[in-house]
Amino acid sequence: MTPFLYKIAKLFHEQYGERLYNCTFVFPNRRAGIFFQKYLAEIEGKPLFSPSMLTIQELFESLSSFRPAEKIEMLVLLHDLFGKISGSKESFDDFIYWGEMLINDFNDVDKYLIDAGDLFRNVHDYRLLDDDLNHLSDAQVEAIRRFWSHFMPVGDNKAKQKFQETWAVLFELYSSLREALAVRGEAYEGMLFREVAEKGKRGELEISPNNNYIFVGLNALTPAEMELMGYLKANGVADFYWDYESPFVHDSRNQASKWVKENLSRFPSRFTGDEPLYSHEQSPRKEKTKINAIGIPSGVGQAKHVTHLLSGLIASEAIHDPGEAIQTAVVLPDEGLLMPVLYSIPREIGKINVTMGYSLSNASVAQLIELIAQLQQNAREKEGEALFYHRHVKALLNHPLVTLSAREEAEILKGEIVAYNRITVKESDIPPHPLLKQIFSPVTRWQDIGSYLKTVLSSLYTSLTEEKRGEEELLEGDTRAIDLEREFIVQCHKTVTRLEDSLQGDRDMSVETYFRLFNKLAHGVSVAFRGEPLSGLQVMGVLETRAIDFENLIILSVNEGVYPLRNSSGSFVPYTLRQGFGLPTREHQDSIYAYHFYRMISRAKRVFLLYDTRTEEMQTGEVSRYFYQLKYLYRDHFEITEESVAHDLAAPEVPVVSVTKTDAVLQKLNAYRKGGESHLSASLINNYINCPLQFYFTAVEGLSEEDEVQESVEADVFGSIFHHVMEIIYSRFRGKTITPDVLKEIRKGEEFLTGAIRKAFARYYFKDESKEYELEGEHYLIGEILKSYVKQTLKVDQQFTPFEYVGAEYRFNRSYRVNDALEVNFKGSIDRIDRVNEVFRIIDYKTGTGATEFKEMAQLFDASKNNRPHQILQLFVYGLFYHLENPGARVSPAVYYLRSVYKDFDPTIRYDKHPIEDISVYLPEFEEHFDALLEEIFDPSVPFQQTKNPRSCQWCAFRELCQR
């Protein structure tokens, strides 16, 4: 394989020799110029004066009297002009989206040298067109007639009316924008291109007759580009070389052929050399190009498969020197896979050159600014103080750049947010750390955001500099990641400054729009990775491959809609008018992509096409049309294979997870024995029955879910509030007899009940009993629901009157003797105890529903049953320990299910349909099962195993740990 750029370098070295410095080579991108320079040096073998090298954009800029305008400044200017011309009061926030669209349209109009007056004509009646369009082509007339005949009459359609009103001012807006920019000496790219083209047309361009312009590897030319190239050709100072060696770009069935004939005819090459540059037939090869299409069910899976492919190329010596793999390229149509790919490159690959750079928008500091934007846009003010939403605060506190600077203060604040259940965080709650105080300063005007962000960025840079100094003091300290972060912060600072320079005055704009504009600028800033461009594995985007050839190509994301890209850019110019006036359409874009693909693979020996097979959300799982074309149109020219790599993320069978009771595990477990510091409880016993492994995680290892702020009143908090309200109600009657009249009076006491509910909210939800909270909105509604449950519970209590209220939250903490070798610590809290005659009712409140009856004792311990009455087991544990502490007492267990209290409900527990009026009768049978369970828990030979009942895993916090 002889690379195209090598052929051109050899050809011009033969023709010009040391006089090459008189030539200016024009390439589609800078990367092509660097490779051309490399080949030229290889051919010469000694130092020489290098020719000038430019991209086509740089050539136009060098010939123009204008400098490129900043896009944000143009949007601001366009908004002002639109308001003056149309009289519209539309805010900048609302204008920005279609303002960008208009600039793109104006850009196309100028690059394609369209008469804007004809395109943006104000047509009120398409039937009057005949007298006014004689100077237009038939295609243009037909396009205008077809569009307006479908569009008109407007009638009552407000959207069409709005479109027509806006369309009426577009030509004036276009002209005014050009005039205003010209006064500043600035231009958008299309305007700049048009100025140069029209100067050439008028013969006004100043071109040195001693300089030769060599256009290399271009393809889809705009009329402005053709005008300039034609002018230079007419003046005898231009030559043209096209990368049209592939026979597929000459095939009229292939969209890649769209411009081939015209370009070769209009701009022929002066020199041909020994090797033909263009071919209509398949070049003879000893071996066909190998094409391997590989379907993989994820984007990251594709990146990981790159490791396998590169290792295979090294093993087969297709990559001769892994340390110098310059003949191999990994091409990324989806730049979002850049980082996964870089992490997947095998260690054998010595050097890597990333030509696409890394977008500033993907950097950690840009993501921090996104979090800051969320914080500031959602901040509220109350009583003169800023309030921030807790999720936005915690997201910022967890960001690596913040924790690096203020780890201790961030942890304290996060702890306080959870401890006091702060849904909103006050500005005064922020710890006195400089960075935190800067971040959590409220900004309400967009004019203040620039200085605010620059202050934050300066603090971050200082913190990273101190961290770098600390790492350098360590012998093995690696500061490369810190250096990269600092570079991103510098670029962010520059971007904010650019935005400040573009936005001046008291513009009608929101804070949200400012951050949106920052993101747009950040997307356009690329921070280069360090690397030698002419050595190592090349990782690049599709456009970076133009005019460059590789022996081995690994192309990812070869999916329809990704490569070629589904054209989603909007335009104010309707499709029919674009087509009629010769403006670029989606077909034009498809032809460009097709040419890039077929040119890219034309000299390769091995091509791997990786595509995503997933069919979810917007993904079709369909391989690109290019592969189907290779497979069905050009199969004779390639050696094509297909394969599917099934990364089976759901392994065939999840192994059973169990934990052996090693000495270390037993030592932790023994903390529950008498004399130890830990205590078993009824809930832990239920945990063990449900899943021994869950018991191990919680009771032995002490793992638990991270506490979170509860924005709404969850079931557990609801239950705690209810318990406390009932305790407040009955605490006045401890040791007294409760009669039906007492209960009726309590139910009538609205003010008292409301006060009790507020106190309970303060303790369990707001977690601050120092003041009484006024319940509003959702909390008020929940308070009313609670009040209803309380009243209904008092109704249920009425059937047991008269009774004595003994107390609430009866706590026990004692040891329990299982056998001679095992005695364990237990503790618990009984919600409420009443006495009816000589029977003590131990009562448990539950917010949901459940059983009050069971058939046999073994049922309480049977984890295989989905509806095991675990609530009854809990009451039996309470009954057992109450009986141990109060020998001779008759105990009757009862459970109040709040969702059942509105029915004809009896809370008394029943065993085989018989109400339990004295639990001591049933305790021997219960203890038999209970003791056996405790012996199993402490038996060294019985491991902690996963539950066999998957239903137990449904709400388990440890599902990921045991892969359920």
Token readout for 914 is: 């018989």
* Contact between residue 217 and residue 31 where contact means Cβ atoms under 8 Å apart: no
> What is the average per-residue pLDDT within 258-276?
88
* Contact between residue 633 and residue 594 where contact means Cβ atoms under 8 Å apart: no
What pLDDT is attached to residue 202?
93
What pLDDT is attached to residue 774?
86
> What is the average per-residue pLDDT within 416-435?
92
pLDDT tens across 152-176, in order? 444 455 656 666 777 888 999 999 9
What pLDDT is attached to residue 725?
96
> What is the average per-residue pLDDT within 339-348?
87
Q: What values do phi and psi take at 320, rounded to 5?
A: -70, -40
- Computed on alpha carbons and rounded to an integer, the radius of gyration of the chain in Å comes to 39
What pLDDT is attached to residue 122?
57
Residues with Cβ within 8 Å of 668's Cβ and at least 6 positions away in sequence, in order, are 700, 701
Which band of pLDDT confidence, cut at 50, 70 and 90, is reported for residue 506? low
Q: What is the pTM of this model?
A: 0.71
pLDDT tens across 801-832, in order? 999 999 999 999 999 999 999 999 999 999 99
Burial tier of 43 (Cβ tally within 10 Å: 0-12, 13-18, 19+): middle
DSSP string, 408-456: HHHHHHHHHHHHTT-SEEEGGGS-S-HHHHHHTS---SGGGHHHHHHHH
What pLDDT is attached to residue 283?
52
> What is the average per-residue pLDDT within 57-82?
93
What pLDDT is attached to residue 669?
96
> What is the average per-residue pLDDT within 696-707?
86
What pLDDT is attached to residue 576?
83
Helical axes 364-377 vs 511-523, angle rounded to 10°:
170
Is domain 4-66+194-266 annotated with CATH 3.40.50.300?
A: yes
What pLDDT is attached to residue 136?
60
Which band of pLDDT confidence, cut at 50, 70 and 90, is reported for residue 957? confident
Which band of pLDDT confidence, cut at 50, 70 and 90, is reported for residue 475? very low
Which of helix, strand or coil describes residue 746? helix
Instruction: Give the integer Cα–Cα distance in Å for 302 and 935.
Output: 52
What pLDDT is attached to residue 209?
83
Rounded to the nearest integer, the mean pLDDT of the chain is 88
> What is the average per-residue pLDDT within 20-32?
93
> What is the average per-residue pLDDT within 255-267?
96
- Identify which of 303, 254, 255 has the alpha carbon closest to the alpha carbon of residue 611: 303
Res 477 pLDDT > 50: no
What pLDDT is attached to residue 134?
58
List the beta bridge partners of residue 70. Answer: none
* Same fold yes or no, 289-342+530-644 and 666-709+790-953: no
Domain boundaries defined on the chain = 4-66+194-266, 70-187, 289-342+530-644, 361-525, 666-709+790-953
CATH of segment(s) 289-342+530-644: 3.40.50.300
Burial tier of 484 (Cβ tally within 10 Å: 0-12, 13-18, 19+): middle
What pLDDT is attached to residue 569?
65
Comparing 284-293, 429-438, 715-724, 935-944, which segment has the lowest mean pLDDT?
Answer: 284-293
Res 503 pLDDT > 60: yes
Comparing 262-276, 499-513, 654-668, which segment has the lowest mean pLDDT?
Answer: 499-513
* Contact between residue 601 and residue 607 where contact means Cβ atoms under 8 Å apart: yes
> What is the average per-residue pLDDT within 566-572?
73
Res 476 pLDDT > 60: no
Res 129 pLDDT > 60: no
- Identify which of 883, 959, 894, 867 has the alpha carbon closest to the alpha carbon of residue 922: 883
Instruction: Give the integer Cα–Cα distance in Å for 825 and 807.
Output: 24
Which band of pLDDT confidence, cut at 50, 70 and 90, is reported for residue 651? very low
pLDDT tens across 737-762, in order? 999 999 999 999 999 999 999 999 99
What pLDDT is attached to residue 295?
95
Is domain 666-709+790-953 annotated with CATH 3.90.320?
A: yes
Residues with Cβ within 8 Å of 833's Cβ and at least 6 positions away in sequence, in order, are 806, 807, 808, 810, 840, 841, 842, 843, 882
Instruction: Give the integer Cα–Cα distance in Å for 513 and 508.
Output: 10
Q: What are the C-alpha distances in Å from 401 to residues 366, 369, 463, 951?
A: 11, 11, 9, 41
Which of helix, strand or coil describes residue 158? helix
Which band of pLDDT confidence, cut at 50, 70 and 90, is reported for residue 235? very high
Res 125 pLDDT > 50: no
What pLDDT is attached to residue 304?
93
What pLDDT is attached to residue 618?
56
- Identify which of 597, 668, 649, 654 has the alpha carbon closest to the alpha carbon of residue 627: 597
pLDDT tens across 775-786, in order? 988 899 999 999
> What is the average per-residue pLDDT within 236-253?
94
